[in-house]
Amino acid sequence: MEMQVELVRWLEDADRDDVPTLGGKNASLGEMIQRLGAKGIAVPEGFATTADAYRRFVEANGLAEVVRHHIDELHDGRRVHEVGPRIREAFEAATMPDDLAEAVRTTYAGLSERVGRDDVDVAVRSSATAEDLPDASFAGQQASFLNVSGADEVVAAVQRCFASLFTDRAIIYREEQGFGHLEIALSAGVQRMVRSDLAGAGVAFTIDTETGFDQVLVIDGAWGLGESVVAGEVDPDTYVVFKPLLTDTTLRPIVTKQRGAKEVKIVYDEAGQGTISLSTSAEERSSFVLDDDEILTLARWCVTIEDHYGVPMDIEWAKDGHTGELFIVQARPETVQSRADAGVLSTYRLTESGEPLVDGLAIGDAIASGPVVRLESAADGHRFTDGGVLVTGMTDPDWVPIMKRAAAIVTDHGGRTAHAAIVSRELGVPALVGTSDATRVLREGEVVTVSCAEGDRGYVYPGVLTFERDEVDLSSLPTTRTRIMMNLASPAAAFRWWRLPAQGIGLARIEFIINSHVGVHPLALTRYDEVDDLEARRRIDKLTAGYADRTDYFVNRLARGVARIAASRYPDPVIVRMSDFKTNEYADLLGGRTFEPEEDNPMIGFRGASRYYSEHYRDGFALECRAMKKAREEIGLTNIKLMIPFVRTVWEADRVLEVMAENGLARGEAGLEIYMMAEVPSNITMAEEFAQRFDGFSIGSNDLTQLELGIDRDSGRLAELFDERNEAVTRRIVELLDKAHRHDTPVGICGQGPSDHPEFAAFLVRHGIDSMSLNPDSIATVIPRIAEVERELDATR
C-alpha cells in the first residue's frame, strides 16, 4: 500500500524543526504561531505546501530531467539568463497534479471559512527548504505573489512559486554555494493578507545592521505593502529603540525617529488581483507611519522573537488599515553583523614611499586611495563618486552624506577641532585638514593615496601606494586604573565605536547634534514671530511640520540625538556638554541671525554659561534642559551626566545651577550629576569653590591653552606656539588636580592633547588624572601607554 504523502500543512501545526519540510520562512511562521501567540505576538493564519508536494509536482511532470539538461548547458558555458527562463517556462507550462491542486483548494477554502470571508485575499510566498539557515540564506531569491484570491488563482500562484526556485539569482547562488539544484525543494506559504496597503509595513532588525551593535533594534517603515521597503524602492521612516529599557513600560526608549521621504507605496490593484505602485500624498510623506506606542509594541515583540530564537533576527511586520492591528509576517536569523568579528581593530602602515603632493594635519590613522573629486559646495554632491577622495575648502554638516561615501577627505582649512576632523574621526574615514592648497594642487580625477598613518602630519601621494593593515585584538588591551572614555559628537556615528574598551563618553557635544540633527536656532522656535527672514521661516515651517508646538521639534530631535549617544555606552557614564556655540556659529543656524550679536572675538565672547541665565538666551537654554530631561527621564538614559562649559565665575555657576533646577534639572535629583569644564584660568584659581558646586571637572585643554598663553586657537600663524604641553598649561593642570582631589572631586580631560601626544597622556597619569576622554581612533594606541605608566608608578612606590 502506497504511503500517504502530506501535501499541505496548517502553519499552526508547524515549528522550527520543519525547515526540511516547509523551508525556513514557513517553519518560522509556524513556530511563532505555536510558541509566541500566547505572548501577544500576532501572526496571520495560513498554510503551506510541503517539500513532498513540490517533489510530487516535479516527478509528475518529468521536470528533474529538464533541470539536469539545462544545468548541464550552464556548465557547458551557456549563460544563466538563457538557462533560467527555459527552466521556469517548463515549470509554468507543467500541470499541477490533481491531488495537490485539490489539497490547495480545500485548505484555501478552510482558510476563507476561518477568516469569515469568501475567497479571502492571500499572499503566496516561496520558502526554500534550506532557506534562512545560518550558513545558507536564500531569502529574497524566490517569488512572492500578493493580493491573490480565488482557489484557481491560489493554485496558479503556488505553481509560479515552484518555478521561482529557478530564478537567475537563485541558480547563481546555489552554484556559488555548491548546493545541488535538485536537492532543494520549495514550500509555498499561503497566508491571509494583512491590509497594510491601507496602512503601512516594513522590516525590523534586532541588531544595528551597520555596526553590529546588539543593544538596539532598528525598524523601517513605509506606507502600503512592505515589499517597497524590502526591495529598497522607498526611503522609509527609521526608528531605533534601545532594547535594555523596554522591560520598563513607563519608559519610551526610542533613540532615533527619522522621517523618510516615502514617495511611493505599493497597494492592491483595485482593477484586479496583484499590486500597483502609487505616489504618496504630501500628508503621507510628512507623517510617520507608526506612532510611539506602535513602535514600542513592535519593538517588544521583536525582542521576544529574538529571545525565543536566541540569535539576532530579521523580521517583517505589517499594520492592517482596517483594524489598526500590527502583525509579524516573517522572521529569520540575521546573517551579516551577528557573525562579524567583534574584537578586532585595524591599523595601517605604508610599505612604499613617494613625494607628497600636499600635507596637513592627520586625522585618524588609516590609509586610503582613490580618484580626486574636487567640490566647492555640498550642493554638488551628485558629482561625487563613491570611493573618491573628497577635496574641498572646508566642510559643515551639509557635507556629511558625501563624507560617508568618501575613501578619504582633504581640506584646505581647519584644525583638529574643525568639523571635517571631528566627523571624519567618527566615520572612520582618514582626513587631512589645514593643507592650505589642496584644492589648487590636486587635479580632478587623478588617483592619489591619502596617508594618516605617519604621525601628526598626513600626506597625499600621487598614485596608489601599497600599505599593510594590521588587526589589533581589542581583548588583548590591558586594563587601566585611569578611566578611559571617548569624545563623541555625532549620534549617527555613536554605534560605530561600541566595541572599543571605553568606560563611557567624557564629552558629547550638544552643539554638533543641534547643527546636524536639529538645524534651527532655538530662539527661532521660542520667538518665531521675531524671525524676519521669510526664507528662514519657510524652512522652519517645513522642518517642524506635524508638530503642534514648534519647540517640540527641537526638544525631541536633541533628546533622541543625545539618547542615541548615551545608549551606545549604557550603563557607563556619558557626559553631555550643554551648548557651547560661539555667537558667529549660532548665527549660522536657521533663523539665528535675528538673535545673535556680531562680536569681534566670539571665542571669548557671549558663550557657554553666560548665555544660559541671560534674558537674551534663557528660553533657548530652557529647550536644551527640556531635551536633557526627556532623554534621562522619559527615554530612560539615566547614565547621562551634564556639563557646563566656559563658567567664568563662581557667581555665574550658581546662577546656571538655579536656572537648571527651575527647568527640572536639579543636581542630585533622579541621580543627576553636573560637571563643569575647567578651561578658563579662573576655574583653576577658584577650583575649591567650584568643587563645592559641581560633581566633577573636565579639563578642556584647547581653551585652557588658548587663554593661558593668549593664543587664538584658530590662528594659522600662531599654530606652532599652540601646545597644551607648554609648562604654563601643565602647571595649571597639576594645580587643578591637587585642589580638586582635596575635595574628593574627580578630574578628567576631554581635550585633544592625550589623543595626539602619548607623553602628554603619560604626564596626566603621573599626576593622578581620574579619567581620560580620547578620540575613538586613538584609544587602542593610548591605552597600552597608560598601562605602562601605571606599572612604572607602581614599581616606584
d(CA 38, CA 719) in angstroms, rounded, equals 67
Dihedral angle of Cα 43, 46, 52, 57, to the nearest 10 degrees: -130
* Set of cell numbers at residue 599: 562680536
N-terminal to C-terminal alpha carbon distance within the chain: 89
Q: Which long-range contacts link 772-775 to residues 24+ away (Cβ below 8 Å)?
A: 772/482, 772/483, 772/484, 772/485, 772/506, 772/748, 773/485, 773/486, 773/487, 773/505, 773/506, 773/507, 773/575, 773/698, 773/748, 773/749, 774/484, 774/485, 774/486, 774/487, 774/502, 775/425, 775/486, 775/487
- Give the Å distances, CA to CA, from 74 to 93, 176, 182, 557, 783: 21, 13, 15, 54, 56
d(CA 493, CA 487) in angstroms, rounded, equals 12
Q: Which residue's C-alpha cell is 594659522?
A: 716
d(CA 242, CA 748) in angstroms, rounded, equals 28
d(CA 471, CA 474) in angstroms, rounded, equals 9
Strand-pairing partners, residue 370, are: 448
Q: Count Cβ neighbours within 10 Å for each residue of 382-418 and write b for 16 or more, e otherwise.
A: eebeeebbbbbeebebebbebbebbbbbbbbbbbbeb
Strand-pairing partners, residue 640, are: 574
d(CA 8, CA 110) in angstroms, rounded, equals 12
Number of H helices, E strands in the chain: 28, 30
User: Cis ω on the peptide bond leading into residue 462 (within 30° of 0)?
Assistant: no
Enzyme catalytic residues: 419, 750
d(CA 527, CA 623) in angstroms, rounded, equals 12
| Nearest by Cα to 597 from 589, 608, 586, 581 | 586
What's the per-residue H, E or C state across 307-353?
Answer: HHHCCCEEEEEEECCCCCCEEEEEEEECCCHHHCCCCEEEEEEECCC
d(CA 189, CA 131) in angstroms, rounded, equals 13
